[in-house]
Amino acid sequence: MFAIFNNISLVETKSSNLSLRVKCNDGSEKVLHSLYDPEAEARAIVDTFQFDGRGLLVVLGLGLGYHVFELSQRFESTDIVVVEAIPEIYELAKEHGKVSELVDKVRFIVGLPADEALKAITREQMKAGMAPLAVFPLSSAVSAFPHYYHPILTTLKNTISVRLWERLKYPKFKDDVIKVAIIDFGYFLTREIERAIKRLGQRVEKVPIRKGEDGEVIVSRLMKKILEFKPDFFLTINHLGFDEEGALTSFFKSIEMPAASWYVDSPNIIIRGFDKNVSPYISIFLWDKWYIKDMEAMGFEEVAYLPLATDEEVFMPMKLSPLDIKRYDADVGFVGNSMVKPTMEKLEKVSTELHPLVEKMAQLLSSSRMPFDEVLKAIDEDELKRVKSLTVQERLDLEAAILWSATLLYRLSCIEALKDFNPCIHGDKDWKKLLGNGYRPGHSLNYYKELPVFYNACKVNLNATSLQMGQAVNQRVFDVPACGGFLLTDHQEALEELFEVGEEVITYKDKDEIPELVRFYLRNRDARKASARRGRQRVLREHTYKHRLKSIIQLMRERYK
């Protein structure tokens, strides 16, 4: 016998293998493995372990790892996690035991407090798709360090005894009334979606998620909602709430829980670099057909086109008070972000040496409005080579910076075309820095209380689409007509199937057309009112959130029932 660490000794056995003798907190000593043949002992205790190999196997106590090695041989396809209280034991096992043979097969949780070890087990369970748990306690280690292992063992046994795995899996879409759980990240569309689902006569509940929360906290909250509400599927916007490593995606797949993600921003910028979120249980809805091929190329099996819409109970014609008219009356108006701060935020993620390229491509994109990949063809060979050398994330950051910067330039050029009409511009404070005299920069409007009033009060509402939208149309295209307001918008391909262009909405294909069109419709009240009336009729008939949520629910039912 020879000491290696205080209170822990290596002991040579009769079979010439090694065992460990440890001194317990009560002063007694215990041997963690047989003093005759530790390997034979390991085979014997594993023989008595009843386990079918499915799920995540948690081993409590490492010792020198004989039992862990035997488990890894018996259950080759099983994920095994070993919890060891004493870092010194782990170090001895690496040098004198079986750990070196287990590095690629087993994950170790070493030296963490019991509560932190439980959290780490949850993280490993999430990585394994929230697989069911099995626990293998090394009885000698548990009896030697009961204050550490007993709380962990009790918690794990309770988790196993309530058959949580089976309770999380249940048949979906069996009732006429569908239950939808919304992952609520505070995004503005959440309210509209919730209201629309209720109006359709379906049930809906929200699960609040906050930025920066740990994955196990999110999954725990979702599990609670699943057990209480038993939703037929989850719904999120822009994949909010999902993690880059795909832990939530794996969890949903493991319990066969369908989820729908409705993209109202570029999915390329959000998810293209995170293919661990691809799953047959994730259905993608895109507000822009432009991105369908990209999402299918990633591996998503269900990708559907779903344009934006409006809440007709928020955006509607209204009688304006004298105060409303005083505050909001305008011949021509625009509501939107200047994109100054968002562009700066995107640029901060891009190497400064690439900023000239961002400026160059933004200029090209804002003037041509061609697809991003087409703009890439317009740069020189060295610049293209530099772009291709970027990592996936670096390229996504570059693309975002270019799109945001181009949108800034494009919106500014469209608004500058309105200068002769003394337009009222509502948005952020940076508009004042961008615009000189001849404009009326106003404050940011509350989406639910002030914006509908402005759309009612403004004679010509100008729209300039964000350049991340290749074919799609934005919120204003539906909200303005819903108010009975007149809309002048840039021409997008999607408009041709959503509205009767020239009758229900009026478009411009070049910013140079804006002044003439504005002048015409300001002078021709009847034509302006007729277009607005027809636009509202189309929106109420086809483009409310009730229409959109009905489509989502129908597709999810057809796919997962």
Q: Which CATH superfamily is domain 322-543 in?
A: Glycogen Phosphorylase B; (3.40.50.2000)
What's the pLDDT at 404?
A: 94
Specify which residues 84 forms β-bridges with.
Answer: 110
Better-scored residue on pLDDT, 168 or 337: 337
Per-residue pLDDT band at 109 (split at 50, 70, 90): very high
Q: Which CATH number applies to 2-162?
A: 3.40.50
Asked if the domains at 2-162 and 179-309+548-560 fall in one CATH topology, the answer is yes
DSSP state at residue 7: T
What's the pLDDT at 128?
A: 72
Question: DSSP secondary structure string, 29-70?
Answer: EEESS-SS-HHHHHHHHHHT----S-SEEEEE--TTSHHHHH
Better-scored residue on pLDDT, 103 or 230: 230
Per-residue pLDDT band at 250 (split at 50, 70, 90): confident
Residue 148 has pLDDT above 70, yes or no: yes
Per-residue pLDDT band at 233 (split at 50, 70, 90): very high
Residue 16 has pLDDT above 60, yes or no: yes
**Tokens 């105060």 — which residue?**
323
Residue 126 has pLDDT above 80, yes or no: no
Better-scored residue on pLDDT, 501 or 130: 501
What's the pLDDT at 516?
A: 97
What whole-number percentage of the chain has pLDDT above 90?
71
Residue of 371, 235, 225, 361 lying closest to 294 (CA atoms): 371
DSSP state at residue 436: -
Mean pLDDT calculated for residue range 167-188: 92
What's the pLDDT at 129?
A: 62
Residues in CB range of 73: below 8 A, 6 or more apart:
none
What's the pLDDT at 2?
A: 42
Mean pLDDT calculated for residue range 234-240: 95
What whole-number percentage of the chain has pLDDT above 70?
97
Mean pLDDT calculated for residue range 116-138: 83
The pair of structure tokens assigned to 485 is 């307001």
Mean pLDDT calculated for residue range 401-414: 94
Pick from 56-70, 105-119, 158-172: least confident: 158-172
**Sign of the CA dihedral with 296 first, then 298, 301, and 304 last:** negative
**Tokens 């057909």 — which residue?**
289
Mean pLDDT calculated for residue range 86-101: 91
CA–CA distance, 136 with 153 (Å, rounded to integer): 9
What's the pLDDT at 1?
A: 39
Residue of 452, 512, 438 lying closest to 480 (CA atoms): 452
Mean pLDDT calculated for residue range 37-59: 93
Rounded-to-5 percentages of helix, strand, coil across the chain: 50, 20, 35
Better-scored residue on pLDDT, 382 or 306: 306
DSSP state at residue 310: B
Specify which residues 133 forms β-bridges with.
Answer: 56
Q: In sequence order, which ranges of 291-423 are alpha helices (DSSP H)?
A: 292-298, 322-328, 340-347, 355-368, 372-376, 381-388, 392-416
For 358-407, what is each residue's pLDDT tens digit?
999 999 989 887 777 777 778 888 888 888 898 888 888 998 999 999 99
Residue 45 has pLDDT above 60, yes or no: yes
Mean pLDDT calculated for residue range 24-44: 90
User: What is the residue extent of each domain of the chain?
Assistant: 2-162, 179-309+548-560, 322-543
Residue of 549, 339, 68, 478 lying closest to 492 (CA atoms): 478
**Tokens 């409006």 — which residue?**
310
Mean pLDDT calculated for residue range 177-201: 94
What's the pLDDT at 526?
A: 97
Residue 519 has pLDDT above 90, yes or no: yes
Residue 4 has pLDDT above 70, yes or no: no
Q: pTM value?
A: 0.78
Mean pLDDT calculated for residue range 162-181: 86
What's the pLDDT at 3?
A: 41
Mean pLDDT calculated for residue range 434-453: 91
Instruction: Confirm if 474 and 463 have CB atoms less than 8 A apart.
Output: yes
The pair of structure tokens assigned to 534 is 């027809």
Chain CA centroid to CA 323, Å: 42
CA–CA distance, 505 with 507 (Å, rounded to integer): 7
For 318-367, what is each residue's pLDDT tens digit?
999 999 999 999 999 999 999 999 999 999 999 999 999 999 999 998 98
CA–CA distance, 544 with 384 (Å, rounded to integer): 43
Give me the long-range contacts of 43-48 (CB less than 8 A, separation at least 24).
Answer: 43/70, 46/70, 46/71, 46/74
Q: Which CATH superfamily is domain 179-309+548-560 in?
A: Response regulator (3.40.50.2300)
What's the pLDDT at 119?
A: 86
Per-residue pLDDT band at 131 (split at 50, 70, 90): confident
| CB neighbours of residue 67 within 10 Å | 29
Chain CA centroid to CA 310, Å: 23
What's the pLDDT at 162?
A: 57
